[in-house]
Amino acid sequence: MSNRTVSVLGVDFLHTTMNEMIARLSGHLEREEKAFVVTANPEIVLHAQEDEAYRTYLAKASYITADGIGVVKAAGLLGDPLPERVTGFDMFLSLLEVANERKFSVYLLGAKEEVLEKTIAAIERQFPQVEVAGSHHGYFDWDSTEIEDEIRLKKPDLVFLALGFPRQEKWIAERYDQFEKGIFMGIGGSFDVLAGEVKRAPVFWQKIHLEWFYRLVKQPSRWRRMLALPVFAGRILREKRKRTS
């Protein structure tokens, strides 16, 4: 499997498909190898351009995949296309399927206590062979080492962090060297979706690549964050002009 990456405004995305990525991570799981996976959307790319500390977290990642059509379109516009989007939520579900088949254990960190409980219940219902080795809600004291101590002790195969960016990448990057094994991955608001708190856009909206629009209408408070999209598009077009002139 090739490790070729495609740079989008300085962030190096793995040139991969969803299926290939799951095969790659399954291989790591079988061999008990560590990995740190970041799924980056346009907002993350912009944040990385502006925040040096965040760039050091990304530099520690084993893989960065394209979370969203914006990154895939940008790579195409810049002349080095990525095959498809490889999102955090889709990988979360696929990895739970793998864990269900192979009886791998998971640790869940993030979201509000009641959302976390519903997430665990949903996993137990839909993926009954998965062992939930431990969990903690996402509103903890960052100076306490309780969570990493538990993860070191229990050695789960997969650690999913639903803390939102940049918190989840910061948490992993600052502690990654302490762990012997485990796939560590930030998955944003995915617990809320699995718990049924936030609905994912119907397939129709996903297919026409307007999932972001559906989410904006459902959660108007997101509008401020969505301003990142036109800013991202502007920077990509400027980069393209720079390269072709």
Contact residues toward ligand UDP (CB under 6 A) are: 110-112, 138-139, 162-165, 167, 188-189, 191-192
On whether the CB atoms of residues 197 and 39 are closer than 8 A, the answer is no
Least distance (Å) between residue 191 CB and ligand UDP: 5
How many other C-beta atoms can be found within 10 angstroms of the C-beta atom of residue 234? 10
Q: For the chain, what is the total number of helices (H) and then of strands (E)?
A: 13, 8
Distance CA(3)–CA(17), nearest Å, equals 12
Nearest distance in Å: CB 228, ligand UDP: 11
| Smallest gap from residue 51 Cβ to ligand UDP (A) | 15
Token reading at 17: 């498909």
Q: Which is nearer to ligand UDP, 192 or 211 (CB)?
A: 192
Task: State residue 111 phi and psi, 5-degree precision.
Answer: 70, 175
Nearer to ligand UDP, 26 or 41 (CB): 41
Between residues 156 and 189, which has the closer beta carbon with respect to ligand UDP?
189
Tokens representing residue 164 in the block: 């939102």
28 vs 118, beta carbon nearer ligand UDP: 118
Smallest separation, CB 50 to ligand UDP (Å)? 17
Beta pairing partners, 79: none
Chain center to CA of 24: 16
Nearest distance from C-beta of residue 11 to ligand UDP, angstroms: 16
Give me the sign of the Cα torsion angle 91, 94, 97, 102.
negative
Q: Is 245 exposed, middle or buried (0-12, 13-18, 19+ CB in 10 A)?
A: exposed
* Token pair of 178 as six digits: 């302490």
Q: Closest separation between CB of residue 149 and ligand UDP, Å?
A: 19
Nearer to ligand UDP (CB atom), residue 76 or residue 230: 230
> Judged by CB, which is closer to ligand UDP: 22, or 163?
163
Closest-approach residue to ligand UDP (CB): 138
